[in-house]
């Protein structure tokens, strides 16, 4: 059986590189926000200070918006709302993306503790990103630089 050809990496201009805590608060995520040649916005998680694996593919804001706006407004959302984006991928990916959405204000915590999230201000996010695009912000070169090691590696056998 022939293997599927790898999809080419999307050409994305990165306009924002930021960090946020995971939903559990146990580690920090680094993420990118950028746009493609059609000026469509995309988000991806690129680093986790903890051990959890994740998918670092770009996810379009239009796909994210479709999922979170389709959710019934009277019911709180959870990170499982992002499951269709990562079907067959790491189980951490939906939660990590959701942490980014929370950090960017695309979802907001419900007033009752631990009861999920509600739709945030997508238009405000678009305006901020539009301003970065208009200003010509391009952090793509900075994103190509390998991240600093977290210093959390365990010493090998025989180490003091």
What is the per-residue pLDDT across 87-121, written as a single tens digit (0 to 9) for each?
A: 877 789 999 999 999 999 999 998 876 679 999 99
pLDDT at position 159, please? 44
Strand partners, 159: none
pLDDT at 52 > cutoff 80: yes
Sequence-ordered strand ranges (E) for the chain: 13-21, 28-35, 41-48, 59-60, 107-109, 117-119
pTM here? 0.82
The Cα–Cα gap between 154 and 147 comes to 18
Q: Which of 101, 134, 93, 94 is CA-nearest to residue 118?
A: 101
Highest mean pLDDT, choosing among 6-10, 69-73, 114-118: 69-73
* Per-residue pLDDT at 1 exceeds 60: no
Residue 145, beta-bridge partner list: none
Is the pLDDT assigned to residue 4 strictly greater than 70?
Answer: no
The CA distance from 31 to 43, in Å, is 7
Q: For residues 50-66, give the mean pLDDT.
A: 94
């Amino acid at each position: 059986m022939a293997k599927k050809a790898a999809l080419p990496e999307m050409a994305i201009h990165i306009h924002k590189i930021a960090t946020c805590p995971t939903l559990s608060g146990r580690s920090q995520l680094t993420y990118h926000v950028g746009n493609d040649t059609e000026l469509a916005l995309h988000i991806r998680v690129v680093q986790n200070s903890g051990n959890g694996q994740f998918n670092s593919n770009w996810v379009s804001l239009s796909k994210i918006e479709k999922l979170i706006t389709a959710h019934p407004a009277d019911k709180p959302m959870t990170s499982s709302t992002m499951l269709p984006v990562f079907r067959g991928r790491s189980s951490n990916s939906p939660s990590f993306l959701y942490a980014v959405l929370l950090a960017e204000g695309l979802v907001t915590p419900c007033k009752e503790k631990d009861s999920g999230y509600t739709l945030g201000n997508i238009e405000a996010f678009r305006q901020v990103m539009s301003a970065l695009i208009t200003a010509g912000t391009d952090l793509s070169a900075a994103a190509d630089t390998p991240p600093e090691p977290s210093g959390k590696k365990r010493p090998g056998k025989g180490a003091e």
